[in-house]
Structure 1
Amino acid sequence: MALRLIAVLLGTAVLSTAADCPSSTLHVSEPPYENYFLSDCRTSSHVIVTSPGNDSEKQPRLLVVWPSGNTGIAAYFTPENGVDGSLGINLESSTTTGQVLESLDLDSGTVTDHPRVGVAGLVHFDSPAILTLPILADIRAIRDYSEGGGNLHPEIQNQVQEVAGPTEGSATIYRTWFDNKTTSWLDFAPSGSADAVRIIPGDKYTVRFGQGTYSFRATNNYPQLSQLSPQKVLSPASSSLIAQNADQTTALSFLSYTNKLVAGSWRFLTYFGRDSMISVLLMQSILSEDQDGAIEAAISAVLERVNKTDGTVCHEEWIADWASWTNLQTGIDSDAPGCDYHMIDTSYYLPILVQKYFLDTSIGKNRSSDFFNEKASFLQGNVGLSYQSLLETVAEGIMRTSAPFAGSQTVENLIHLKDGTSSGEWRDSSNGLGGGRIPYDVNTALVPAGLRAISALAKGGLFSDAHNDWKTLADEYAQVWEDKTLDFFKVNIPAAEARDLVNEYKSQSAFPGSAQTDKITGDVTFYGLALNGSVGTDQPIVKVMNTDDCFRLFLLDTTNQTQLSAFLQQNANNILAPFPVGLSSEASLLVSNPAYGGSQAYADNWSNSQYHGTVIWSWQLAMMAAGLQRQLDRCKNSTADTKPDFCDDSKLYNTVVAAYNHLWDLIDANRSQLSGEVWSWKYADGEMQAVPYNTYVDLESDVIQLWSLTFLAITRDQSYSQ
């Protein structure tokens, strides 16, 4: 039987040293999901087996996904006896190689531009099973089914075919893509004494398997990506991480390619601009540089996908079969890629990242001229445009949209979500901002940080002479945004009222732990998630305590001393305070605390089953830790006339140091969770214990996530130990 690990998020990484085609494998266990990764010179594959055991809410499933084309195959099974929860499935190791998966090139030795490649393995059914639904489609379409209440796209699903396989007792399920040149195949055949695979007449998708083991092959003939090996994704100085953290570096490699970094697997196995840029900003110290390195791969991918009409940076790409399907919805028969541009936060990261690499590193400086003379080739509308012109277009958009607030500091002039959208920044679930239209992180951190970077890039000569005024104008704008935005989001609650609200929340949420109100010894202060919310009340501020302070800590060195000291004080207080008074829990730092909202709707909207509720996100922990260290390092690295005031306020300084160390204690206590996307908690034995997010909802968080691997680079500074 295949090796099973218990409740760990990153498991067994194995690196093969075969000279002709080196491979890497990784096993990640998060019951009821067993995840297997295989990468080599042929293809990169992620195979997931869902074996729900007695959980009748989850359906047994074999899922294979590929970053090439952002595509996959999902096969859903039911027990032949009709009793939900009675069918268990698992992958078995090969008796020949000892490995669970084997990569395939079925056109090996044949001259072809697009060989049929993929992955093979052995799947075991512990009782007779019926395959009732195969989905051979883009990952977006598979997500629409798994997360959209069983939503299937008939134009896609009606193309699925099944035939008898090439050997006796086998079966093949296949689908030709909308481009009429690419096909996905799923083949099954009995192994050992297992019954023949039987296609049941009268139903297009029904296939029967007996109790026993079956071989499977999942393949397609779409052009493959060129993966960056662990040795190539990391800088030479960081190569020791491969041996020290084989699982995380294997995961990082699986998400890194020569032309882009992808966000996570399995659900987001393609380009996401925000994810890749945040990841590089946090991991820049360990990533490979130069022409063939990970940093330039990420930046070039972002520039390739810029909307040239308004300078908006692409959030998510549409490629391959999903691009074809999307184009067909508008009457266009084309597989040309496209982009989603509805996010309002993503554009600001680009100038920040460009500055950090092309101005602040020696290799970046030497590469700047050649890199920005490169011509775009990915989006049809950008073909032939230089990277320099696309970067300038993004900067023009930022300068244009930030000018109104720089001139007049009103709510109307802040940055709003786009009309008709319910999300627009990282809290992008439908209720992540509680209906808020003006996000805290974008307005108080991303806009001024982006403006500071634009000024630096202008001074560094990366823009045309027509924008020489940006050298000073962008800094002037940034100063206004730094100094004048925080007060719009500030929430201050007198101590007595705060205690009442927390006690009320404990009842509203049925939180079984202590209200901890004895920890409230003064006014509670924090900055709300957004303005103009719709959840619970018509309050102008969405009164949810949150971790988005990390953006301002990590991206800015603010100079308004009174404001900086107050900001650090509230941030440290809220990190140190236990939930539901603050953000701290044994499961780590919660990204939201709705205890001060004052309504049942707040408790319902931000719960431990909500994607951006009282849950924990790894990368927010990393950015918070890095941000606190950045602010503390200012006390070491500043001159006497530029050192922040809080450095000489021993009480405040020690409180910030205490918050830094407390945060790291929480991170260290939850290391087994850190490489996943998001996790939740249950209350047991008098504490909040970490549990997988899927404990409460039928939604899988990604078991490897690009920005959750940033703890490879973000480490504790022991000089601040108390």
Structure 2
Amino acid sequence: MFTMWWHLLPLSALTALGAATAPSCSSAPTTLHLPDAPYDNFFYSGCNTAVQVVVTTPQPDSNLSLISPRLVIAWPAGNSGVCTYFAPQNGVNGSLSIEVVNSTIGNPLSATYDERNSTSGNDTTPFYGVTGTIRFSSSAILTVPILGSIRTIRDFVEGPSLLRPQIQDAINVSSLSNGGASLKRIWLDNVTSTHLTFTPASSKGSVTVSKNNTLTFGTGDYIFTAEFNYPQLKQLSPAQVLTNSSTDLMQRDSERTSALSFLSYSTKLLAGAWRFLTYFGRDSMISALLLEPILSKGENGAMEAVIAAVLERINRTDGSVCHEETIGDYATWLNEQQYGLYSTEAQCDYKMIDSDYYLPILMNKYFVEDPIGRTRAASFLNTSAGAFTTLNSNLTYRQMVAINAERIMNLAARFAGHKNQTKENLVHLKDGQIVGEWRDSTYGIGGGRIPYDVNTALMPAALRAIASLARNNFFMNQEHWAKLADRYAQVWEDETLQFFRVTVPESEAKQLVSSYAQTIGFSGPNQTDTIDGDVMYHALALDGNSNQTQVQVMNTDDCFRHFLLNTTGSQDQLTAFVNQTANNIRRTFPAGLLTDAGMVVANPAYGQNPVYASNFTSGAYHGTVIWSWPLAMMAKGLEQQLGRCEVVNSSVGHDHHGHTKIPDFCKDGTVYGNVKAAYNILWDSIEANQAQLSQEVWSWVYDNNNETFVPTPLGVMPPPPGTGSQTGMLIFVFLTYSLFILVTNRSRAVRI
């Protein structure tokens, strides 16, 4: 048997026995513990490896059909992981609890390192791992083990409990001479192996392997060790992720700066833990835009890591930006399934349409507007591509930028043409896709084909950025883009909102909200007394489910336009736009977007079709729930719009030619006061929910006794029918860390 008893020991013990030791680190490992019942999250980062361990254990109020005892171990390297589900041996659901505890093995975790070769092939990559102690409150059975890829685990957790025999049948289970048990699987590349072992921490414990390879544990403590031989990533320390002027954050908020570091690597920044420990183009670019004031600049800095990762993964044939990469064991499986080929070549998902537009916006923000970025532009653009895929190996970053910009210009041209401002000429989802922007769940945009955020904000903002890049000689032989892109942008800014605008007369609005509150069984006040006029908002998308012309769901996606655009076309349109945003933020759910738990990203109360209430629920991923980064983007967006009213502020309030323009809404006392009040109400909500801000998304329940919305993990809420389990929601994503600069920088210039 390959896994010997001494292989279970932490690095310190291995050293004492004369086993190979890991390369020495100049600093102690970073550990982080983020409890969020029923999930308990542990992070371990050293110079050799980074890993997350998540323990799920039912709570007294848990929905036992959704929450069961589970151990997840996830590595950013290769997007790899281990997942094990446990059940009480007595069969009584909810009677078993598990936890990771401090022990002589680690406090609670320790790293392992072994230079022995793989059991298959001639790979010499060391085995990197983690070890700790897990405690079972009663005898338990290991019901489902998954070894290899986080994507494989996601397919099981998020889908219909999907397990692939080709992967599951390759798990080798065996007993160990020290009373423990081992699970081992060789990846589809026939080189990499993932190992998981459990050993009794005392003579009282026992692990029994049955004839059908089921593991049974007695009550007590067990040492677990998980390891694999796959090349690790080079992590950026908190000091390497942040600018020199922002390093004080490491003292003021060490927990979140450590978490930010866990997601930051020299070649890419990751989306989130634990289910998305890999590259996501949209997420990393939104994060970089929001975190731009504090992210490190220059060569080997975090900003350039984000941009380079996006450029490396562009589809050179059409300029599309990669949404999510597929690497490691899952890439090998996907290559075989899709092409019938044995290949470990990484793949990219290009189905999203919004990712394309963030690239020129971010390029302009860094390489034109930032003084450090300006000095780096020439060198960076001359970098040869090909680090991620050989398909781009004969191109430079400058060429990749141009390929993406040309795609955007081509997509913009038709709608911007003379008398061509029709719905058909707007940007649609790609054929055959039901998702295409950040609300990328089944009902995220209600089946819509023409997303609000992409057409009214991302397209014109990207065109403004392309015009600026062209004026700064980023594109060879495309000097005419400087004027053309600005002309296109003005049309898209002025003419797109009308397609999405929804106006509900006051009396009808009150009736709709009252009916909606009854439909969902909402026990709090329906807030119809706060509706003091016609309600206006913008539909999530056009051409939705059930033949809906508009997906009439109030939402937070106004934030994109507030944050990404500061030009002014129609003054009347701008005034109405900022005012309706403020109204919808100020009103409490179900009449508006505000709750004590935060601002919900969707409110279906004003939709005429009952399908909206069924699909946009407090248990839906993009339903009546709170996301952290839209809070940040809305706060910064409203700050920017209010900042345009300040003559002394030279960084805002300009058109694209640099001329100062104070918008008309600034001189309208009612509208300006409304926007200012909404800004402060939103900030009050953000500050009141700081305990939630390390999470990607959370929900709420209404407490009748205290008449308040109580923040609640989304993972414990029942999802809409047919959308699959949401157990094990992210504990944090890179996007959420925009808030730790914002929380301490609420603008005093506009604060009441």
Aligned-residue offset at 1:50: 1.2
Contact 2:25 2:47 in 1 (8 A): no
Partner of 2:216: 208
Q: Distance in 2 between matches of 1:659 and 1:108?
A: 61
> How far, CA to CA, are the matches of 1:112 and 1:336 in structure 2?
17
Paired residue for 2:188, among 156, 178, 184?
178
Indicate whether 1:654 and 2:664 are aligned: no
Q: d(CA) in 2 for partners of 1:94 and 1:376?
A: 47
Aligned match for 2:110, one of 102, 126, 132: 102
In structure 1, which of residues 550, 554, 557 is the aligned counterpart of residue 563 of structure 2?
554
Within 5 A, what are the aligned runs for 1:455-494?
455-465=467-477, 467-494=478-505
The one-letter code of the counterpart of 2:492 is: W
- Matched residue type, 1:689: V
User: What secondary structure does 1:719 align onto?
Assistant: coil
1:194–1:214 contact (8 Å) kept in structure 2: no
1:316-335 to 2 correspondence within 5 Å? 316-329=324-337, 330-335=339-344
Which residue of structure 1 lines up, in the alignment, with residue 694 of structure 2? 675
Distance between the aligned counterparts of 1:631 and 1:567, measured in 2? Answer: 11
| 1:251 alignment partner in structure 2 | 259
Distance 2:664 2:600 in 1: 29
What aligned pairs does 1:48-87 form with structure 2 within 5 A after superposition? 48-54=54-60, 55=62, 56-57=64-65, 58-87=67-96
Unaligned runs of 5+ in 1: 1-17
Deviates more, 1:400-409 or 1:710-719: 710-719
- Quote how far apart the aligned CAs of 1:347 are: 0.5
User: Residue 10 of structure 2 aligns with which residue?
Assistant: none
The equivalences for 1:302-321 within 5 A come to 302-321=310-329
Aligned partners of 1:257 and 1:580: how far apart in 2?
42
2:544 counterpart residue number: 533
Match of 1:154 in 2: 165
CA distance in 1, matches of 2:346, 2:673: 52
Give the Å deviation of 1:471. 0.8
Helix, strand or coil: the match of 2:103?
coil
Check the 8 A contact 1:282/1:713 in 2, yes or no: no
Q: Check whether the contact 2:105–2:131 (CA below 8 A) recurs between aligned residues.
A: no
Question: Using the alignment, how far apart are the partners of 2:585 and 2:36 within structure 1?
Answer: 28
For 1:158 and 1:362, how far apart are their aligned partners in 2? 56
- Who is 1:366 aligned against? 375
Q: Tell me how far apart the structure 1 counterparts of residues 25 and 701 of structure 2 sit (CA, whole Å).
A: 47
Structure 1 residue 19: deviation in Å?
6.0
For 1:493 and 1:132, the matched residues in 2 are separated by 53
CA spacing shift, 1:19–1:393, aligned 2, 3 Å: closer
CA distance in 2, matches of 1:414, 1:22: 53
Alignment counterpart, residue 304 of structure 2, candidates 292, 296, 308: 296
Cα drift, residue 21 of structure 1: 4.5
Between the aligned partners of 2:112 and 2:30, the Cα distance in structure 1 is 14
Of 583, 587, 600 in structure 2, the residue corresponding to residue 573 of structure 1 is: 583
Q: Distance in 2 between matches of 1:108 and 1:458?
A: 54
Per the TM alignment, residue 326 of structure 1 is displaced from its structure 2 partner at its CA by 0.5
What secondary structure does 2:28 align onto? coil
Residue 691 of structure 1: which of 705, 709, 712 is its match? 712
> Residue in 2 aligned with 1:717?
747
Say if 2:38 is the partner of 1:40.
no
- The question of whether the paired residues in 2 share the 8 Å contact of 1:36 and 1:48 is answered with yes
Report the equivalent of 2:136: 125
User: 2:360 — aligned with what?
Assistant: 351
Partner residue, 1:609? 619
Task: For residue 607 of structure 2, give the secondary structure of its aligned residue in structure 1.
Answer: coil
Q: Measure how far apart 1:236 and its partner are.
A: 0.7
SS at structure 2 position matched to 1:269: strand
- 1:41: Cα distance to partner? 1.2
What's the offset of the Cα at 1:196?
2.7
1:194 and 1:213 in contact (8 A); partners too? no
Deviations 1:397-450 (A, max 9, x none): 000111110011000000001111111000000101111110000000000000
Alignment coverage as a number of residue pairs: 698
Give deviations 1:488-510, integer Å, cap 9, x for gaps. 00001111111111111112221
Task: Name the residue aligned to 2:35.
Answer: 29
Q: Which moves more between the two structures, 680-689 or 478-487?
A: 680-689
d(CA) in 2 for partners of 1:280, 1:608 = 29
8 Å contact 1:336–1:380 — kept in the other structure?
no
Deviation at 1:713?
A: 2.4
Q: Equivalent of 2:631, from 621, 632, 639?
A: 621
For residues 544-603 of structure 1, the C-alpha deviation after alignment (integer angstroms, 9 at most, x for no partner) is: 110000000000013121111110010001110111111111111110010011232111
Query: Does the residue aligned with 1:713 lie in a helix, a strand or coil?
Result: helix
Q: Which 10-residue stretch deviates more, 477-486 or 590-599?
A: 590-599
Question: How many angstroms does 1:641 deviate by?
Answer: 5.3
2:117 touches 2:123 (CA, 8 Å); kept in 1?
no
Q: Which moved more, 1:313-322 or 1:107-116?
A: 107-116
Q: Give the one of 397, 406, 415 matched to 2:427.
A: 415
Distance in 1 between residues matched to 2:596 and 2:240, nearest whole Å:
37
1:108 deviates by 8.8
Tell me if structure 2 keeps the 8 A contact 1:505–1:598.
no
* In structure 2, distance between residues paired with 1:414 and 1:335: 38
Partner of 1:594: 604
Partner Cα separation in structure 2 for residue 271 and residue 674 of structure 1: 22
Tell me whether 360-369 or 691-700 shows the greater mean CA deviation.
Answer: 691-700
1:594-649 Cα offsets, whole Å, 9 max, x none, are: 00112321111111011111000000000000000111111122479511111121
Q: Is the Cα contact below 8 Å between 2:205 and 2:222 reproduced in 1? A: no
For the Cα contact (< 8 Å) 2:117–2:126, is it kept in 1?
A: no
1:451 partner letter: L
Distance (whole Å) between structure 2 residues aligned to residue 76 and residue 284 of structure 1: 40
Q: CA deviation at 1:149?
A: 2.1
Q: CA separation in 1, counterparts of 2:465 and 2:347?
A: 28
Paired residue for 1:508?
A: 519
3-state SS of paired residue (1:100): coil
Could you say which residue in structure 1 is the equivalent of 2:229? 221
- Partner of residue 4, structure 1: none
2 CA distance for matches of 1:114 and 1:290? 31
Matched, 1:440 2:452: yes
Cα distance in 2, alignment partners of residues 191 and 96 from structure 1? 10
* CA deviation after TM superposition for structure 1 residue 53, in Å: 4.3
Cα distance in 2 for residues equivalent to 1:244 and 1:626: 21
Q: What is residue 18 of structure 2 aligned with on the other side?
A: none
Select between 75-84 and 393-402 the one with higher mean Cα deviation: 75-84
Q: Deviations over 1:283-313 (max 9, x none)?
A: 0100111111100000000000000000000
Structure 2 residue aligned with 1:585: 595
CA contact (8 A) 2:179 2:200 kept: yes
SS in 2 for 1:74: strand
CA distance in 2, matches of 1:80, 1:591: 42
**Distance change in 2, residues 1:108/1:252 (3 Å):** farther
User: Is contact 1:375–1:383 with CA below 8 Å preserved after alignment?
Assistant: yes
RMSD: 1.6
Q: How far off its partner does 1:453 sit?
A: 0.4
Q: Aligned equivalents of 2:329 and 2:123: distance in 1? A: 20
One-letter code of the match for 2:227? Answer: T
Match of 1:143, as an amino acid? Answer: R
Q: Secondary structure at the match of 2:509?
A: helix
Q: What is the match of residue 11 of structure 1?
A: none
Q: Is the 8 A contact 1:558 1:564 kept in 2?
A: no
Match of 1:280 among 279, 283, 288: 288
Is the contact between residue 37 and residue 59 of structure 2 (CA under 8 Å) also seen in structure 1? no
Distance 2:683 2:662 in 1: 25
Summarize deviations over 1:449-501 as a string: whole Å, max 9, x none. 00000010111111112x11101000000000000000000001111111111
Structure 2 counterpart of 1:9: none
What are the ranges of 5 or more consecutive residues in structure 2 without an aligned counterpart? 1-23, 719-724
Q: TM-score, normalised by structure 2?
A: 0.91
Q: Deviations over 1:506-561 (max 9, x none)?
A: 122211111111111111001110001115xx331111110000000000013121
Moved more, 273-282 or 703-712: 703-712
